[in-house]
Structure 1
Amino acid sequence: MNYSAALIEGLTVRASGRQCGIDKNTSFRWRHRFLTLPAATKANHLQGIIEADETFFPSSCKGQRHLNRPPRKRGKQIHVRGTGKDQVPVLVVRDRSGATADFMLNALDKKTIEPPLRAILAKDAIFCSDGAAVYRSVAHSLGITHHPVNLSAGIRVIAGVYHIQNVNAYDSRLKQWMKRFHGVATKYLERYLGWRRWLERWGGHNSPIIGLQAALGRENQFQLLMQT
């Protein structure tokens, strides 16, 4: 229970270990055991007005002894936005109920983006994105209504309701929360994304027992039990 509480607090590996009276290596192993199943728990059906946007994380070999590139200083920021070898794009998709899914991508093109969106978007969804051509192409292929927001022209809201402000706010919270870890190894990034989704799902109602249920893959059953 103590380690679950440390996850809710968003403590680092070392701080979690100190709180639970274990060494940092044991703390690291416990963290990833707790996060394995939450990493795979994401919304599988989004409906209504749906917002999508991509965010980027530095590609990181943190913890690896042999690198295939020159080492970077710890926590160094990547200032060029894009999909180069130094960055990992993550597509975040969120509906107005707060249901959220995210996907680590190899590229930001139609071939890569369309399959995950096709799997989770309702057929009558109203899709909101920025003005990138790839989103127009995907929406056309899926046959769904699309409202692109032309941010470069200063247009942030269409008809008072179509925008991507919710997903942008989520991205901002995610990036701010991730800063405490001073860089996350790319091979573990999906687990941290799942960790954040779990925290967002439960918000102020989260508790160590819920964290334990999530780690055991029983989160949905526990949620249904609480509603009865």
Structure 2
Amino acid sequence: MPAATKANHLQGIIEADETFFPSSCKGQRHLNRPPRKRGKQIHARGTGKDQVPVLVVRDRSGATADFMLNALDKKTIEPPLRAILAKDAIFCSDGAAVYRSVAHSLGITHRPVNLSAGIRVIAGVYHIQNVNAYDSRLKQWMKRFHGVATKYLENYLGWRRWLERWGGHNSPIIGLQAALGRENQFQLLMQT
């Protein structure tokens, strides 16, 4: 199943960034909050009750993992990163203090990019442009669904990872095998 298939080991230069999706009770009959008006956008960015943070982590080979989070703090971010980051990895992120703290706890090299000061690349190689480009493609792709119920967000994230992985090489057979959980039995062959 594509939702469960994510990178389980990232190595080399690893980029991380968070993106936010509106919390959605789409399809639920009984809400514990007043309903939103149709077409009303949520403009407040952050980890409030109206936003669901998703941590996206990518290495330079394109291996991607994402995690739906309850909060953006060290206690929430450290366990998934500990499970997938190599010990000799170089971790690139924005200047948020939580990433510095997590990198220090994991004992890995951290290269923060100070976006607020206009610094986008450090030493010509350390940046978060790949993960930001992935976030942008993900957001653009999600627009076609006009909002995704939060309880199904992980499925959509998995679907997008699967589309990124297979690109133009996907086929109905590969899709059926992935749905059956047999995706790894096939090797992607390309003409050289």
TM over 0.5: yes
Q: What per-residue deviation string (whole Å, max 9, x for no partner) do you get for residues 79-101 of structure 1?
A: 11100000100000000000000
Q: CA deviation at 1:224?
A: 6.7
Larger CA Rg, structure 1 vs 2: 1
CA-atom RMSD, angstroms?
Answer: 1.7
Q: CA deviation at 1:75?
A: 4.6
Residue 144 of structure 2, aligned match among 177, 180, 192? 180
Q: Which has the larger share of helix?
A: 1
Stretches of structure 1 that go unaligned for 5 or more consecutive residues are: 1-36
Q: What per-residue deviation string (whole Å, max 9, x for no partner) do you get for residues 115-148 of structure 1?
A: 0000000000000000000000000000000000
SS of the residue 1:172 aligns to: helix
Runs of 4+ in 1 over 4 A off after TM superposition: 224-228
Q: What per-residue deviation string (whole Å, max 9, x for no partner) do you get for residues 167-213 of structure 1?
A: 00000000000001010000000000000000000011111111001
Tell me the TM-score normalised to structure 2 length: 0.96
Given that 1:126 and 1:147 are in contact with CA atoms closer than 8 Å, whether structure 2 keeps it comes out as: yes
Share of identical aligned residues, percent? 98
Tell me the TM-score normalised to structure 1 length: 0.81
Q: 1:227 to 1:105 in 2, by over 3 A?
A: farther
Q: CA deviation at 1:73?
A: 2.9
2:132 and 2:41 map into 1 onto residues whose CA distance is 19
Q: CA deviation at 1:71?
A: 1.1
1:141-220 alignment runs, 5 A limit: 141-220=105-184
2:6 and 2:122 map into 1 onto residues whose CA distance is 28
1:227 and 1:138 map into 2 onto residues whose CA distance is 42
1:227 and 1:143 map into 2 onto residues whose CA distance is 41
Q: CA deviation at 1:70?
A: 1.2
Q: CA deviation at 1:51?
A: 0.1
Q: 1:46 to 1:227 in 2, by over 3 A?
A: farther
Alignment match, 1:70 = 34
1:181 and 1:152 map into 2 onto residues whose CA distance is 32
Q: CA deviation at 1:227?
A: 11
* Larger deviation, residues 133-142 vs 70-79: 70-79
Given that 1:75 and 1:183 are in contact with CA atoms closer than 8 Å, whether structure 2 keeps it comes out as: no
SS of the residue 1:69 aligns to: coil
